[in-house]
Amino acid sequence: MVNCFGLVTDNKEPVPLKSIDAQLEVKDHVATLVSTLTYENKEDKPLEAVFVFPLPGDAAVCHFSAQIGETHIVAEVKEKQQAQEEYDDALSSGQQAFLLEESEQSPDIFSLKVGRLPPGESASIRLEYVTELAVQADDGLRFCLPAVLNPRYQPQGSEGPSVQVTSVPASLVPYSLSFSAQVSSPRPISKIESSCSLEPLQYLNADQTKATVKLGGGHKFDRDIELLIYYKDAHQPSAVVEAGQASAKPGSLMGDPVVMVSLYPEFPQSVMSSRAACGEFVFLMDLSGSMGCPMNNSTPQETRISSARDTLLLLLKSLPMGCYFNIYSFGSSFEHIFPKSVEYSEKTMKEALEKVEKMESNLGGTEILRPLNHIYSQACIPKHPRQLFVFTDGEVRNTKEVTDLVKNNADSHRCFSFGIGEGASSALINGMAKEGGGQAQFITGADRMQPKVMQSLRFAMQPAVNDISVSWDLPKGVSATVLSPPITAIFQGQRSLIYAQLTGPEADGSVTVKYSLAGHPSQNQLHFNLKPAEDSELTVHRLAARTVIRSMESEERTRRGHQDEEMKKKVVELSIQSGVSSCFTAFIAVNKDSGKAVQGPLVRRNVPTVDHLMDPLIKLFHFTGDGDLDSGRSARSAAEPPQPHKDPLLQLVSLQNASGSWMLHEALAAVLGKTKEEVEKVNNEVWASILALIWLHGFKMDAKEEWELLAMKAASWIKAQNENIHPSVF
């Protein structure tokens, strides 16, 4: 079942949200966002406004307050049921009240209730959260402020009410948005990019370690606000020690200093140059109706599913001989190309490609649990570690069930996840990769899917990292209690974060991460000073608290019996102590100083969120016989079969054999820009493959990330033929 979305009705009912002001502060790789939402009740009745919106899945909501006229109310964190009861009681007695709570199904969805606004009254809501910024494949740090709440698919039979949100076209959004960002780092800021129009970047000092940027004028709400921040020397390790809260109890997480250690392991090049020729590669592709939407507004002819087909072509051509693979597709149901993973060969590759070319976004909704359960039920292949690649636009509501399932099977595989298109759930995409020891990637705006996916394939083909351990070298009298879950995966060029609670005097210390890479013992060490930073805003403490809360929530869901309540109690205690949201708590604010009670019946209004995908979604969904809105077959599923690839690179790739070689025939000659007669004398398979490699290096260097692996496979095949070929060819 899909949450009900639709255009506003003809009578254009007024909505109370008037403006959103968002101010972002980035310090190195940690971001703090302060949003102010202004409401105004222009109706002649008291109003309850409900605004549902997404936040980053790992965000720690740490402040919520309201300004009504001259009255300022700061919300408190309380156990969720208690907060809900206080909110209902306040409304029943005519008091103004505000309730902010996290969805129980997905940690990146929040609902804000603004209760009993009197006629003609306005209110400003201030919301603050902190979050870590994920490192992208090109070393950029990604921040995303979603402008839409995409429909989240709720599987049949799942519990919990659907969130009701009205969506409107971007041109009719009744509220304004302003956004600015201030960035600071120990290293120079090289650039800040965005899919939205930005005003020119302004540096605030000579060494370019501080800068500010603002959203350009005329923002049309047609996309998320996504920032990519690039630093020079981005892979330097760092450690930040933050002093505890003076009012907190010593010995508690908030009372003691907390250190955040950021490590970027560098692996020996001799080891990294060897690519694994083994493994089981399982590709799980979302074919729900929404995958028929355009990848971006500038190239509407390229849909998510067409880009996914091209990506699968590159993946299949890049796999090493001797590995195993399979491809699953899912929607309301799921399918697989082979009953179980098969050995990679010319025959199995061609069979898979024939079915990939026929893939359409016609499998209905987005139920990912069933195919995942099926994949995990398949026995692993000895000496072929399983690598799972999941592609989805992230429109699901049972996020926690999915990430828990991945976590429970983490010992048997690594999971690489890809969020496709605007509004993909960061909690789902990041959660699957984190719990599965892999990597998460987001493909938005004008991004091409292929380079990011091939980057992850290179990670998956790296030698496995084993025996990971973290040790602390601290002076006498100083101890460190690690708050982060154990590190389960380390990739070349990827950041690992460790939070630890410290006790003892200020001094120098170090942390060492040891691991074994392809049988070679290695380690990375970072020295740091235990003196806390002077400008403490408890950012590190709140992120550490969020890390602990998420771990306990996950553990609570996997337990059964009397221990559930005990774990829930610990989550509630830490949430209240740290002021950080959880699935068991909520922020509640009641205006008890408003004088006389607000009279009159209470009118409820759902605040619409802009939906720039509404037009295509109308085409992708249909109403079932019982009146429910359901993901149906897209218009594309009834269209003509997909046309052959016209891109020369993809044409060349499609002609490559599983071994890595090319046969010279008319189709290859056409890609190379030659006639059949011009190359007839080159009837040797080796030289045909050499010509293909020369063409790639001569004409497609800008897309090297996409074809590098299959070119390496081709070069290895050529060398194995023992032909008398000049070494410069390679």
- The answer to whether residues 688 and 664 touch, using CB atoms and an 8 Å cutoff, is yes
Q: State how far the Cα of 295 lies from the Cα of 421, in Å rounded to an integer.
A: 6
Long-range contacts of 118-121 (CB under 8 A, 24+ apart): 118/41, 118/46, 118/598, 119/41, 119/42, 119/43, 119/44, 119/45, 119/46, 119/47, 119/600, 120/41, 120/42, 121/40, 121/41, 121/68, 121/69
Q: What is the DSSP string of 425-446?
A: -HHHHHHHHHHTTS-EEEE-TT
E-strand stretches of 122-222 = 122-132, 134-135, 141-145, 167-168, 176-184, 189-194, 202-203, 210-214
Residue with the two structure tokens 């008319």: 666
Which of 608, 603, 604 is CA-nearest to residue 8? 608
Q: What is the DSSP string of 47-103?
A: EEEEEEEE--TT-EEEEEEEEETTEEEE-EEEEHHHHHHHHHHHHHTT-EEEEEEE-
pLDDT at 456 (0 to 100): 86
Residue 540 amino acid letter = V
Cβ-based neighbours of 439, under 8 Å, separated by 6 or more: 416, 417, 433, 456, 459, 491, 494
Q: From residue 174, give the alpha-carbon distance in Å to each of 41, 164, 170.
A: 13, 18, 9
Please, what are the domains in the chain?
A: 17-234+579-612 (2.60.40), 275-462 (3.40.50.410), 648-729 (no CATH)
The token duo for 684 is 């040797």
- The answer to whether residues 485 and 476 touch, using CB atoms and an 8 Å cutoff, is no
pLDDT at 439 (0 to 100): 84
The token duo for 425 is 């759930």
The token duo for 24 is 């972002």
For residue 485, what are the β-bridge partners? none
- The answer to whether residues 392 and 442 touch, using CB atoms and an 8 Å cutoff, is no
Q: State how far the Cα of 543 lies from the Cα of 132, in Å rounded to an integer.
A: 8
Q: State how far the Cα of 57 lies from the Cα of 515, in Å rounded to an integer.
A: 29
Q: How many residues does the chain have?
A: 730
In the chain, what is the straight-line distance between the N-terminal and C-terminal CA atoms, in Å?
A: 54
- The answer to whether residues 312 and 285 touch, using CB atoms and an 8 Å cutoff, is yes
Query: Helix crossing, 563-578 with 539-558: angle to 10°?
Result: 170
For residue 189, what are the β-bridge partners? 231
Which of 108, 109, 107, 110 is CA-nearest to residue 99? 110
Residue with the two structure tokens 């392809």: 518
- The answer to whether residues 305 and 636 touch, using CB atoms and an 8 Å cutoff, is yes
Q: From residue 156, give the alpha-carbon distance in Å to each of 5, 13, 103, 108, 371.
A: 18, 32, 18, 21, 15
Q: From residue 117, give the alpha-carbon distance in Å to each of 84, 220, 496, 583, 602.
A: 18, 29, 46, 27, 9
In three-state secondary structure terms, 511 is: strand
Q: What is the DSSP string of 673-702?
A: T--TGGGTT---HHHHHHHHHHHHHHH-GG
Q: State how far the Cα of 109 lies from the Cα of 161, in Å rounded to an integer.
A: 13
Which of 416, 481, 491 is CA-nearest to residue 452? 416
pLDDT at 7 (0 to 100): 22
Longest alpha-carbon distance in the chain: 96
**What digits encode the pLDDT tens for the residues 340-399?**
999 999 999 999 999 999 998 887 777 889 999 999 999 999 888 899 999 988 666 788
Residue with the two structure tokens 């170090």: 510
Residue with the two structure tokens 């070069």: 715
Cβ-based neighbours of 442, under 8 Å, separated by 6 or more: 136, 142, 144, 418, 419, 424, 426, 429
The token duo for 536 is 């403490």
In this prediction, the residues of the chain whose per-residue pLDDT falls under 70 are 1-17, 137, 147-175, 218-223, 268-277, 297-300, 394-396, 423, 445-446, 493, 534-536, 556-563, 593-646, 679-683, 722-730
Which of 357, 443, 356, 474 is CA-nearest to residue 142? 443
pLDDT at 80 (0 to 100): 94
Sign for the CA dihedral angle at 4, 8, 13, 14 comes to: positive
